Structure 1
Amino acid sequence: MPFVAITYDIKGGNEDRVAEVFSNFQRPRSAVVPGADGGQAGRILATAVFIRDSLLVRFIEFEGDLDAVARHMAAQPGVQEVERKLRPYLNSPRDTTTVEGFVRTFKSSMLRCVTQLSVPRQLA
């Protein structure tokens, strides 16, 4: 499964406040990412958030179309709330109030993937 890593430029000294923003984050009820045609364009399998000093990184494991994943995330109330709560702690503003702005910001804050290695997954 592919991963994407999204960075946030955080004002130093706010690690605990930023961690608090993410402490109550809840996944959407469904992992399914809808496509423009209403069918399934992918799934968000897992997310993880890490912070050190002024760098916060959100990792997302997904299947399917990354653009559809970004559009889907932009419409999630929990994601919108996190983006709103992070604003005071950002060194650089992020345009995430619209779907288009969120997708632009998502793409511009992606880290370049150098390698991804995993073992095959099987159901138990």
Structure 2
Amino acid sequence: MPFAAITYDIKAGHEKEISEIFGNFRRVNSPVVRDGAGGETARILSTAVFIRDATMVRVIEYEGDLDAVARHMATQPGVREVEEKLAPYLSRPRTTDTVEGFVATFRRSLLTCMAQMSVRDLPAA
């Protein structure tokens, strides 16, 4: 299962406020990502958010097409709400108020995966 990590440039010193934003996060309606015809194109398995100083990183474990995951996230009320609430704490604004803007920002914020390992990748004993 691949992971994706996206960065947020934030104003340092607001960890408590940002933690409260994510503490009240409304989960996505469904982890299943569907295309226009209703076929499953991806699945969001888990997410985590990390913060230190002026950097926040959101890690997403997923299956399938990452662009489809980004498009799915762009339409989710909870994700849109978090993006809106984070705006005052960002040192670099993110254009996420449209699906196209969200996807473009997602791609720009994506970290390059250098290595990924999981016990799930080990051969069965």
- Residue number in structure 2 paired with 1:54: 54
- Residue number in structure 2 paired with 1:95: 95
Q: Residue 30 of structure 1 aligns to a residue in which SS?
A: coil
Q: Residue 113 of structure 1 aligns to a residue in which SS?
A: coil
Q: Residue 85 of structure 1 aligns to a residue in which SS?
A: helix
Q: Residue 119 of structure 2 aligns to a residue in which SS?
A: coil
- Residue number in structure 2 paired with 1:120: 120
Q: Number of matched residues? A: 121
Letter in 1 for 2:15: E
Q: Mean alpha-carbon deviation: is it higher for 11-20 or for 70-79?
A: 11-20
- Residue number in structure 2 paired with 1:27: 27
Hey, what's the Cα distance between the residues in 2 that align with 1:93 and 1:27?
A: 23
Q: Residue 8 of structure 1 aligns to a residue in which SS?
A: strand
Q: Is the 8 A contact 1:15 1:54 kept in 2?
A: no
Q: Residue 80 of structure 1 aligns to a residue in which SS?
A: helix
Shift of residue 37, structure 1, vs aligned partner: 2.8
What's the CA shift string for 1:76-113, capped at 9, x where partnerless? 00000000000000001100000000000000001110
TM-score by length of structure 1 reads: 0.94
Q: Residue 97 of structure 1 aligns to a residue in which SS?
A: coil
Q: CA RMSD in A?
A: 1.1
Unaligned runs of 5+ in 1: none
Letter in 1 for 2:61: E
- Residue number in structure 2 paired with 1:43: 43
**Runs of 4+ displaced beyond 6 Å:** none
Unaligned runs of 5+ in 2: none
Q: Is the 8 A contact 2:26 2:77 kept in 1?
A: no
